[in-house]
């Protein structure tokens, strides 16, 4: 029987240590993680391969935001699940995310819940 | 494997030497008397320029010019310097693999017998006289750079590491990380955001320090067998070092041996990608700024 393919996740976060933390957490769960420290790096990776899920912080380098990354993701493939992490989103931001079908997690995240949710999202998207 | 990448094995950030810095300065040429080739080529066509060498007499390097027509590669001389060129009916070259390889092949051939200052891919002039005018206008700078680069070759060294393996090693060998990791495991804090972030910060810091140490050690091991080095930005998250080394042609074997020795020392921990010899791309930067003549 063919082995299930490991999900490929793009993680975008402009702080190296936080990016590494998410990466380690996700790799422990068996995901293949492509890390990006900036929206530019994310763009480059998006041009190279298709991801099963994109995880991105709201606030990126300089004045870039996670929404820019998600827009590029969706432009390439509208079906890719998107998850946004934020520590301070206001109602407007949250509504914008929900309207675009982006799952929002508020920091500090509850890790077990976060991982379970990602698993469910991936399961549903491959449904 | 590309013959230019035949080497098996890889420098920590050493500051540019004075000579290296001066060689890397831009030489700007502003030509106002001659038209820049941007329109349709003339009947005779233009001249594709590969690089500049020292040569008192006209030379020919064979029929291997860019463009697929097998044009002769020859020199356009001015005093004791010369541009290595071939005729072309094309003024704008697409950077296709075929064109890039043709450009490289010529430079590689010339390099066997001459020190060459490479020109950027796609440099085309209208006539031999235009080229002579450029050589004349920056003669002193070109002579100076040629003198500095005489008998020297460039080698590239990229070093990658297995980050996951290093992390596992840090969890065992770094006392602070080992203790904290044990503590959060013991207290079942694996799922606690702040504990995980703290561990991530500690590992990230240790990784940066470890990478910097490796790079310093590699540069140190190669310091005595090169003339200068240049530290370029690593590409991607697996690369910890992306360097170029300027090496005396007659010390190539010594440099080779030193790279292989340090690569062997690190074994499977680090992966060395060693390339060259190249013309001194990273140590010479000549930009020809051409302007259309008012006429």
- For residue A14, the chain B residues in CB contact (below 8 A) are none
Domains and CATH numbers, chain A: 8-125 (3.40.50.2300)
- For residue B164, the chain A residues in CB contact (below 8 A) are 27
For residue range B125-154, list pLDDT tens digits in order: 999 999 999 999 999 999 999 999 999 999
> Residue A21's closest chain B neighbor by CA?
B200
- For residue B191, the chain A residues in CB contact (below 8 A) are 110-112
Give the contacts of B276 (CB within 8 A, at least 6 positions apart): B4, B7, B153, B154, B155, B156
Tokens of residue B259, six digits: 């790279």
Which residue in B167, B197, B207 has the most chain A C-beta atoms within 10 A of its own C-beta, making it the best mutation to test that interface?
A: B197
Helices (H), chain A: 16-28, 39-48, 66-76, 91-99, 111-125
B interface with A, Cβ–Cβ < 8 A, is 164, 167, 190-194, 196-197, 199-201, 203-205, 207, 237
- The answer to pTM > 0.90 is no
Task: Tell me what pLDDT residue A2 has.
Answer: 59
- 3-state secondary structure at position B94: coil
Strands across the sheet containing B228-232:
B228-232, B239-248, B152-161, B270-278
Cross-chain residue pair B191–A18, CB shorter than 8 Å = no
pLDDT higher at B247 or A3 = B247
Q: Are A38 and A61 in contact (CB under 8 A)?
A: yes
B2 falls in which pLDDT band (50, 70, 90)? very low
Selection from B68, B42, B55, B173 nearest residue B114 by Cα: B55
Selection from B26, B11, B31 nearest residue B289 by Cα: B31
Determine which of A39-43, B89-93, B126-130, B255-259 has the lowest per-residue pLDDT on average.
B89-93
Task: Tell me what pLDDT residue A127 has.
Answer: 64
Conformational region of residue B253, where left means phi above 0, alpha means psi within -120 to 50, and beta covers everything else? alpha
Q: Where are the domains of chain B?
A: 17-150+284-290, 155-278
Helix (H) or strand (E) holding B100: helix B97-111
Complex-level ipTM: 0.86
Longest dimension (CA), chain A: 48
- For residue B206, the chain A residues in CB contact (below 8 A) are none
For residue range B180-227, list pLDDT tens digits in order: 888 887 776 666 899 999 999 999 999 999 999 999 999 999 999 999
Give the contacts of B130 (CB within 8 A, at least 6 positions apart): B31, B34, B47
For residue range A51-91, list pLDDT tens digits in order: 999 999 999 988 899 999 999 999 999 999 999 999 887 88
Tokens of residue B43, six digits: 């009947």
Task: Tell me what pLDDT residue B295 has.
Answer: 36
pLDDT higher at A127 or B195 = B195
Q: CB pairs under 8 A, 24+ apart, for A41-50?
A: A41/A12, A42/A10, A42/A12, A42/A69, A42/A72, A43/A69, A43/A72, A45/A10, A46/A10, A46/A72, A46/A73, A46/A76, A49/A8, A50/A8, A50/A76, A50/A77, A50/A80
Task: Tell me what pLDDT residue A1 has.
Answer: 54
B164 falls in which pLDDT band (50, 70, 90)? confident
Cross-chain residue pair B199–A21, CB shorter than 8 Å = yes
Q: Are A103 and A125 in contact (CB under 8 A)?
A: no
Tokens of residue B194, six digits: 């702040």
Task: Tell me what pLDDT residue B8 has.
Answer: 40
């Amino acid at each position: 029987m063919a082995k299930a393919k490991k999900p490929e996740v793009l993680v975008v976060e402009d702080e190296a240590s936080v990016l590494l933390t998410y990466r380690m957490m996700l790799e422990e769960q068996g995901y293949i993680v492509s890390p990006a420290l900036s929206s530019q790096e994310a763009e480059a990776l998006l041009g190279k391969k298709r991801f099963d899920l994109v995880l991105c912080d709201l606030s990126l380098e300089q004045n870039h935001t996670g929404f820019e990354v998600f827009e590029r993701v969706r432009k390439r493939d509208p079906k890719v699940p998107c998850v946004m992490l934020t520590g301070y989103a206001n109602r407007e931001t949250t509504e914008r995310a929900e309207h675009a079908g982006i799952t929002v997690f508020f920091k500090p995240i509850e890790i077990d819940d976060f991982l379970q949710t990602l698993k469910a999202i991936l399961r549903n998207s491959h449904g | 494997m590309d013959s230019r990448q035949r080497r098996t094995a890889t420098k920590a950030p050493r500051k540019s030497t004075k000579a290296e810095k001066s060689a890397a300065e831009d030489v700007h040429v502003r030509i106002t008397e001659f038209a820049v080739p941007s329109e349709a080529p003339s009947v005779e066509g233009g001249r594709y320029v590969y690089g500049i060498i020292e040569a008192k007499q006209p030379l020919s390097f064979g029929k291997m010019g860019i463009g697929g027509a097998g044009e002769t590669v020859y020199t356009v001389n001015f005093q004791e310097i010369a541009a290595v060129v071939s005729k072309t009916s094309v003024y704008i070259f697409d950077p296709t693999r075929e064109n890039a390889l043709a450009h490289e092949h010529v430079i590689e051939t010339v390099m066997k017998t001459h020190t060459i200052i490479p020109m950027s891919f796609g440099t085309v002039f209208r006539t031999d006289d235009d080229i002579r005018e450029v050589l004349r206008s920056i003669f002193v700078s070109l002579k100076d750079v040629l003198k500095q680069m005489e008998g020297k070759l460039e080698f590239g060294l990229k070093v990658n590491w297995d980050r996951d393996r290093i992390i596992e090693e840090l969890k065992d060998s770094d006392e602070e990380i080992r203790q904290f990791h044990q503590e959060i495991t013991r207290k079942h804090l694996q799922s606690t955001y702040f504990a995980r972030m703290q561990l991530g910060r500690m590992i990230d810091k240790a990784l940066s320090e470890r990478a910097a140490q490796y790079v310093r050690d590699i540069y140190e091991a190669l310091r005595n067998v090169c003339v200068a080095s240049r530290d370029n930005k690593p590409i991607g998250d697996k690369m910890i070092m992306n360097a170029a080394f300027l090496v005396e042609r007659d010390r190539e074997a010594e440099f080779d041996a030193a790279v292989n020795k340090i690569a062997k020392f690190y074994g499977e921990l680090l992966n060395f990608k060693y390339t060259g010899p190249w013309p001194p791309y990273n140590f010479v930067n000549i930009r020809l700024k051409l302007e259309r003549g008012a006429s």
